[in-house]
Amino acid sequence: MAQQLAGELTEIDKALRAIESRDIFKTADDLVQRDRAEKALAGAADQAIASAARDREGHARAVGDADRILDELRRAGRETAAALGAARTGLANAGLPCGNLPAGVRLAERTPASTTELIRTSRNRDPQPLVTAGGHPRRRDT
């Protein structure tokens, strides 16, 4: 019985080696390896897309914070200009010179130009246009 099983095992090993040596087996193994590599690359791409989305959200929050600070600076500039005007008027009414006071208060702003970029938000969808209006990302409805 043991001899018969050993013989069958030898025959099975020979058949397995013959199958493994055939091109179709090599092709199937290659496809399995490619499938594993594709899944790994897809996972890495999904992680990169998610990370980029988090970065864009963080950037949008930072731009929003900067916009709020700019509004505060504008308001402070207007208040300072009003205070300067009142000081000039007060000095003039008192007959005192106001030559050392600045002529006015000015806030110099530079707004970056808007641009449009194509952003891939999913591996399975086409890139979507993202408009940065003055540095603030906004998705364009298409």
Per-residue pLDDT of the chain (142 residues; tens, 9 = 90+): 878 878 878 888 888 887 777 777 678 778 889 999 999 999 999 999 999 999 989 988 998 998 899 999 999 999 999 999 999 999 999 998 988 889 888 888 888 788 888 988 898 899 999 887 655 555 444 3
Check residue 44 and give its pLDDT: 95
CA–CA separation, 1 vs 9, rounded Å? 12
Q: Among 122, 130, 129, 118, which residue's Cα sits nearest to residue 50?
A: 122
End-to-end CA distance of the chain: 76
pLDDT of residue 53: 92
pTM over cut 0.95 = no
Q: What residue ranges in the chain does DSSP mark as E strands?
A: 115-119, 128-133, 136-139
pLDDT (0 to 100) of residue 139: 44
Q: What is the pLDDT of residue 135?
A: 52
138 DSSP β-pair partners: 131
Rounded to an integer, what distance in angstroms lies between the CA atom of residue 14 and that of residue 27? 20
Backbone φ, ψ for residue 62 (5° rounding): -65, -40
